[in-house]
Structure 1
Amino acid sequence: MGDNERVNTETVNQPPSLTIALLARVQEAIRASGGWLPFDRFMAMALYEPGLGYYANQTPKFGHLPQGEDGQGSDFVTAPELTPIFGHTLARQVGQALQDTGTDEVWEFGAGSGALALQILDALAATGQRPSRYTIVDLSGSLRERQAATLAAHTGVVAWADALPEALSGVVLGNEVLDAMPVQLLNRVEGQWFERGLALDADQCLQWAERRTDLRPPLDIEGPQDYLTEIHPQAEAFVRTLAERLQRGAAFFIDYGFPEAEYFHPQRHMGTLICHRGHKTDNEPLRDLGLKDITAHVNFTGVALAAQDAGMDVLGYTSQGRFLINCGLVDVAKDAGPRENAMMQKLLNEHEMGELFKVLAFAPPDSTADWTPMGFSAGDRTHRL
């Protein structure tokens, strides 16, 4: 370690698990990179290393119940798993976007269990609007198997892809996708900025280590306090690439996060990085490699600017609760029973998902001339980005 490097001497001993091999690969990567691995590279391995990373292995992930001793259960629940009302309502926006942009395909990134795709396809089929193709872009082979089983009724329509094509048209969806893209960690200590990464101690255990850096958050952080935060170059690069290749249609991203001024607020001095396992959260990403989700909240201003830089128009930005109400959730749920109504409230309530989750949409300029997405018809917050 050089003079411009800091080491947190707290080490993390990995417990025996099916992911011992993942730890070995991380250790190998640290050695190969000269003894220090930036956090975004570690996060990519922890989540997506083939066969071992959290989203690349066979452990259950999505559902209502936590993991049990038998290995069954799940780590977290997303809106489509809460209630089909979510997907049936979002389908109204998808249907409008397909019609008004003159496209006939849907692309979904990170489709999880396939629940959202099923809800949207069922709802569109019921109104005679089922697209000619529904393509899922997902890196997880184990999740693809589950998606295929879930979507068996739509076999002739659903397809899978490993990567973006050079050009595409249609409606693009991403529900809780951006938060799982690797982030870089920046730490201001006594006025100096460091990038946080990983090193190995004398026993080859993982430990935090930091290097001086010229990287900075997009906003100056007021005050002299120490300040840990994230920057999102990979998510912004993904959106920029998508925007460059989207020829016609619209893209809708739903995730938890904030506009830039809130994301880098002086009081948010510990950042937003968090881990999910067994429906509990922790702030220890170096433990239990491959057995927990690692996420960070989304900087929606950065995402919107990346889309604009690639020539897109921002169609709207608002809370999930407002978006779903604008899309007719109340009408969709009019015949719902008590349980579904209770789940619906989780989607809408400010202290649940209704305010923390936001919706951002963008489209090529020639796709926006004659229509406004129904989801932003009231309560649009684009001016806050």
Structure 2
Amino acid sequence: MRVLVRPNRPACLHAFGDNRRVTSPNLQSPADLTQRIHHAIAQAGGWLGFDRFMAMALYEPGLGYYTNALQKFGAMPSSGSDFVTAPGMSPLFGQTVAVQVGQALDATGTDEVWEFGAGTGALALQLLDSLGDAVKRYTIIDLSGTLRARQADTLLQHAGKVRWLDAWPEVIEGVVVGNEVLDAMPVQLLQRTQGVWHERGVVSSGEDFAWQDRLTDLRPPVEIEGEHDYLTEIHPQAEAFVASLAERLLAGRGGAAFFLDYGFPEAEYFHPQRHMGTVMCHQLHQADDNPLVAVGQKDITAHVNFTGVALAGQNAGLEVLGYTSQAWFLLNLGLAERMAAASLAERSQAQRLVNEHEMGELFKVIGFSTSTDWSAQGFARSDRSHRL
């Protein structure tokens, strides 16, 4: 579920983990991406795993959804946009998150903020305005030339602090922010049919694409109760991303990381009743569940398995600071007090960040640190780490 409210965008281990460079937008048509994927399917023997299909649909240089020139961000479909971001919805979002980032900078003795997939730059602006001299440098890693230009315009007043990298370095020191980063990382699809597990992939069907399942030894991380047919996802790229980030944080003086995204702990993610998977697409503020059409013209996402993310960080040497809902995270950091001092219109918009039926409960926050000698304020109440 998207709530059609989309805090910031995106990352993919394949892109951020190698030295692929940011690609500027071009005027190639959607048909060019379709042809390229058909060619990849042919080269792969006629079948392409969904993770590779999703990676190409979102990140193929100059053609994928996040590397082409489509509008993406905006409040109304009339603008040609597909979703609105939480920082764009209310500046109170970034101002409140800044409280946690500031505490983490002080606790880790660092002065740099890192953001993967900074979208329009709205969150970066809110953080920089709020944190002032506590931030000496703000580093953005983003795949989109179009969005980088938009970020530069948004952050013009902080131009002396902001830098952009095409790929992440070997050492990261500071506080990492990932606002809806993990949900945009390619996933593998697993389909249980009549008790037998298959990996779901994509094949060519004339000029279109179609699903095809193949027998596999892959399994979800937990046993799925029942004998009914069951579709789900596994997240090796997101987990590898977190593990790689951990290595880089631990290679330096240390730091912390906070990921805000929609998803569930393992027991909820692989619940027997969640048998249709979580892959969703978003275009012109409408949601659908078919990523095989309008390829490159719409967003493709999957919910996050936060248990897998937590284990990936722990196994790589990080400590879990906490895990809770976005509502409790923001309330712990003083959002209610900020709302009380705001106008009615501002309160109305900020309320959507914490309403249970909108972003408040569906979105979760997980925090990591290289040390355990401090407690993160965002998890002071209603820490759900025990549910991971």
Q: Same fold (TM over 0.5)?
A: yes
The aligned residue for residue 335 of structure 2 is: 329
The question of 1:140 aligning with 2:144 is answered yes
The question of 1:286 aligning with 2:289 is answered no
Q: 1:181, 1:231 → 2: CA distance?
A: 11
User: Structure 2: which amino acid aligns with 1:212?
Assistant: L
Shift of 1:36: 0.4
The aligned residue for residue 302 of structure 1 is: 308
The question of 1:19 aligning with 2:33 is answered no
Contact 2:33 2:64 in 1 (8 A): yes
The aligned residue for residue 89 of structure 2 is: 82
Contact 2:340 2:347 in 1 (8 A): no
The aligned residue for residue 313 of structure 1 is: 319
Q: 1:239, 1:196 → 2: CA distance?
A: 25
State which of 226, 230, 233 in structure 2 corresponds to 1:230: 233
Which structure 2 residue ranges, 5 or more long, are not aligned?
A: 1-27
The aligned residue for residue 266 of structure 1 is: 272
User: Structure 1: which amino acid aligns with 2:303?
Assistant: H
Alignment of 1:89-108 (within 5 A): 89-108=96-115
Q: CA-to-partner distance for each residue in 1:106-160, whole Å, 9 max, x for gaps? A: 00011111000000101112xx43x110000111111101100110010000001
Q: 1:188, 1:293 → 2: CA distance?
A: 26
The aligned residue for residue 169 of structure 1 is: 173
Q: 1:361, 1:188 → 2: CA distance?
A: 33
The structure number with the bigger radius of gyration is 1
State which of 176, 192, 195 in structure 1 corresponds to 2:199: 195
The question of 1:215 aligning with 2:227 is answered no
State which of 63, 67, 72 in structure 2 corresponds to 1:61: 72
The aligned residue for residue 13 of structure 1 is: none
Q: 1:298, 1:256 → 2: CA distance?
A: 6
Shift of 1:332: 2.3
Q: 1:28, 1:338 → 2: CA distance?
A: 54
Shift of 1:77: 1.5
User: Structure 1: which amino acid aligns with 2:366?
Assistant: L
User: Structure 2: which amino acid aligns with 1:238?
Assistant: F
Q: 1:39, 1:46 → 2: CA distance?
A: 10
What is the TM-score with the length of structure 2 in the denominator? 0.91
Shift of 1:204: 4.1
The aligned residue for residue 382 of structure 1 is: 385
Alignment of 1:354-373 (within 5 A): 354-365=360-371, 368-369=372-373, 371-373=374-376
Which structure 1 residue ranges, 5 or more long, are not aligned?
A: 1-16
Paired residues, what number? 358
Q: CA-to-partner distance for each residue in 1:181-208, whole Å, 9 max, x for gaps? A: 000000000000110111123x243111
The aligned residue for residue 31 of structure 1 is: 42
What is the TM-score with the length of structure 1 in the denominator? 0.91
Q: 1:333, 1:117 → 2: CA distance?
A: 20
The aligned residue for residue 116 of structure 2 is: 109
User: Structure 1: which amino acid aligns with 2:104?
Assistant: A
Q: 2:208, 2:292 → 1: CA distance?
A: 10
Q: Which of 302-311 and 73-82 deviates more?
A: 73-82
The question of 1:48 aligning with 2:52 is answered no
Contact 2:190 2:231 in 1 (8 A): yes
Q: 2:88, 2:73 → 1: CA distance?
A: 7
Structure 2 counterpart SS, 1:168:
coil
Q: 1:105, 1:162 → 2: CA distance?
A: 17
Q: What is the percentage of aligned positions where both structures have the same residue?
A: 64
Q: 1:114, 1:144 → 2: CA distance?
A: 8
Q: CA-to-partner distance for each residue in 1:196-252, whole Å, 9 max, x for gaps? A: 111123x24311111100000001000010000000000000000001110311000
